[in-house]
Structure 1
Amino acid sequence: MIHVFKTSVQTAEDIKKLKPKLDKLSPNLKWNFDLEDCDKILRIEDFNISPISIIDLLVELNFECKELE
């Protein structure tokens, strides 16, 4: 399953800060950011992760995050 989120992540440095935390969530987690998109999209591919855990993680690290339909 692929989840798509609108985020407030702005830079490669932000992604570098998030990488260890995202990698820790699940061993099968595949993720990427599209910083060129106006919504700073985060795509997550994993069958065992809940969208709320992604949102909670980003909010905990002071980023905005909202799942898109």
Structure 2
Amino acid sequence: MTRFIMILRTAVQNSEELEIVSKVMFDFAEITKWSIDLEDCDRILRVETTTRIGDQLVEKLNELGLNSAVLEIFDSLLMQN
């Protein structure tokens, strides 16, 4: 199965915003795993998915007031070769 790893910059600042991110992640069945680095100045969100949903994910986060942007998308199959 193809898996994509997306790296996003976010503006998450507190636990309430982290809860919003968690709810958004739950809404996308394609997301298999995610984590966020709140210690990093860019609040890096790392998301593993079965399809390329970067634009849809950013759109949803931005709609809810969480400024975000895709920094990179990796195809795990290409990374293994």
Q: TM-score, normalised by structure 1?
A: 0.86
- CA–CA separation in structure 1 for the residues paired with 2:8 and 2:55: 11
2:52 paired with 1:36: no
- CA–CA separation in structure 1 for the residues paired with 2:71 and 2:45: 10
Which structure's CA Rg is the greater one? 2
Q: CA RMSD in A?
A: 1.5
**Runs of 4+ that moved beyond 3 A:** none
- CA–CA separation in structure 1 for the residues paired with 2:31 and 2:24: 14
Q: Which has the larger displacement, 51-60 or 18-27?
A: 18-27
Identify unmatched segments of 5+ residues in structure 1: none
2:54 paired with 1:51: yes
Q: TM-score, normalised by structure 2?
A: 0.75
Identify unmatched segments of 5+ residues in structure 2: 73-81
CA 1:65–1:53 in 2, change beyond 3 Å: closer, same or farther? same
- CA–CA separation in structure 2 for the residues paired with 1:22 and 1:49: 14
Structure (1 or 2) with the greater strand fraction: 2
